[in-house]
């Protein structure tokens, strides 16, 4: 154990962990939204994220950009970033809706048991992942340097880059927008009503199928944003990119209180920081192992998570 390395690099590890945690938090929102309404762990959500990582790369490729391209100007960077975000959001949103319509909706109509949903979720995840692997020949694909990481400011011995600040601020903004939507809009009230009592919500005129489709769509939109930020931060993607990050996101959702939007944000940021501390203390090979250890600890001692409120009971 390298305590001196952890102490010496405490600031950089914290900032890097917050940036990684912001991506995990955006990813985790999809898990917590679906669970909050359906009490279902959507294991195919990792592939919803995966589609976003490839969609932005494909559209950037249409502009002649690859990992060997020169960094664009400020105007070009903003243009490519917005285009990549829009395309990734659409791709992930459409994938999430397709999973709901093709895989889950027929099961709901037949009142299938929970085990059928679990098996279907795992099957959908494997199908999309392996199909992507076949189409990409299981090769790693580089990301164009849309944003070059440059120091913005320094606090003590900790330097914060423009990319790290963008990821953290974007995650906080999207969390605020989603929270306002869920707690302040008519559609959000429908989501909370179905989460609390689906039968009573149906009697009040709430269309349960539309609400469920909206929940999957919202989770897909958040996953699309996370996918672009992941590409820019990591610099590469491949057909199984969503697997380990999906486990991290699930652990973050459970840590914060699965079914709780703010819990997903808190869990993601905490997990990202704790992962980096574990990597600094035990070595980089413990980065993702820390998620497994933390997940087991949380499930043993506080299975409701840190905040523990369900989506339907979450306060504005």
How many C-beta atoms lie closer than 10 Å to residue 196's C-beta? 15
The confidence score (pLDDT) of residue 93 equals 96
Domain edges within the chain:
27-242
Q: Give yes or no for a contact between 306 and 261, defined as CB atoms under 8 angstroms apart.
A: no
Give pLDDT, residue 223.
96
Closest CA to 287 of 20, 15, 19: 20
Cβ neighbours of 224 (radius 10 Å): 32
pLDDT (0 to 100) of residue 307: 84
pLDDT at 5: 73
pLDDT tens series, the chain, 316 aa? 767 877 888 899 999 999 999 999 999 999 999 998 988 889 999 999 999 999 999 999 999 999 988 889 999 999 999 999 999 999 999 999 999 999 999 999 999 998 999 999 999 999 999 999 999 999 999 999 999 889 999 988 889 999 999 999 999 999 999 999 999 899 999 999 998 888 888 888 889 899 999 999 999 999 999 999 999 999 999 999 998 899 999 999 999 988 888 899 999 999 999 999 998 888 888 888 888 888 888 888 888 888 875 554 543 3
pLDDT at res. 315: 38
Per DSSP, 192 falls in state H
Contacts of residue 164, defined as CB under 8 A and 6 or more positions apart, other chains included, come to: 15, 16, 18, 19, 149
pLDDT value of residue 309: 58
Measured CA to CA, the distance from residue 42 to residue 91 in angstroms comes to: 17
Give the residue from 17, 55, 95, 40 showing the smallest Cα distance to 259.
40
**CA–CA gap between residue 261 and residue 251 (Å, rounded):** 14
CB 253, CB 267: distance < 8 Å: yes
Q: Using CA atoms, how far apart are residues 135 and 232, in angstroms rounded to an integer?
A: 22
CB of 18 closer than 8 Å to CB of 164: yes
Cα–Cα distance, 128 to 7 (Å, whole number):
42
The structure's pTM equals 0.93
d(CA 298, CA 303) in angstroms, rounded, equals: 6
CB 288 within 8 A of CB 28: no
What is the C-alpha separation between 139 and 149, in angstroms, rounded? 25
């Amino acid at each position: 154990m390298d305590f001196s390395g952890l102490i010496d690099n405490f600031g950089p590890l914290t900032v890097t962990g917050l940036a990684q945690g912001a991506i995990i938090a955006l990813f985790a929102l999809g898990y917590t939204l679906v669970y909050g309404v359906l009490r279902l762990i959507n294991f195919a959500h990792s592939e919803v994220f995966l589609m976003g990582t490839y969609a932005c790369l494909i559209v950037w490729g249409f502009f002649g950009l690859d990992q060997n391209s020169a960094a664009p100007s400020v105007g070009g960077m903003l243009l490519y970033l917005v285009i990549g975000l829009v395309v990734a959001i659409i791709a992930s949103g459409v994938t999430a809706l397709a999973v709901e319509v093709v895989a889950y909706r027929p099961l709901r109509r037949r009142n299938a048991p929970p085990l059928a949903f679990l098996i279907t979720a795992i099957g959908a995840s494997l199908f999309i992942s392996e199909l992507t692997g076949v189409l990409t020949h299981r090769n790693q694909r580089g990301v164009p340097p849309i944003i070059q990481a440059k120091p913005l400011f320094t606090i003590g011995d900790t330097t914060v880059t423009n990319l790290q600040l963008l990821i953290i601020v974007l995650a906080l903004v999207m969390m605020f927008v989603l929270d306002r939507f869920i707690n302040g809009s008519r559609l959000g009230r429908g989501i909370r009503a179905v989460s609390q009592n689906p039968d009573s919500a149906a009697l009040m005129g709430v269309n349960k199928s539309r609400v469920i489709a909206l929940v999957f769509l919202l989770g897909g939109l958040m996953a699309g944003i996370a996918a672009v930020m992941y590409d820019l931060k990591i610099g590469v993607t491949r057909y199984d990119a969503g697997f380990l990050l999906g486990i991290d996101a699930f652990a973050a959702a459970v840590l914060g209180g699965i079914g709780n939007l703010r819990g997903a944000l808190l869990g993601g940021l905490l997990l990202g920081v704790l992962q980096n501390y574990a990597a600094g203390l035990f070595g980089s090979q413990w980065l993702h192992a820390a998620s497994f250890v933390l997940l087991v600890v949380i499930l043993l001692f506080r299975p409701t998570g840190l905040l523990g409120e369900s989506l339907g009971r979450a306060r504005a």
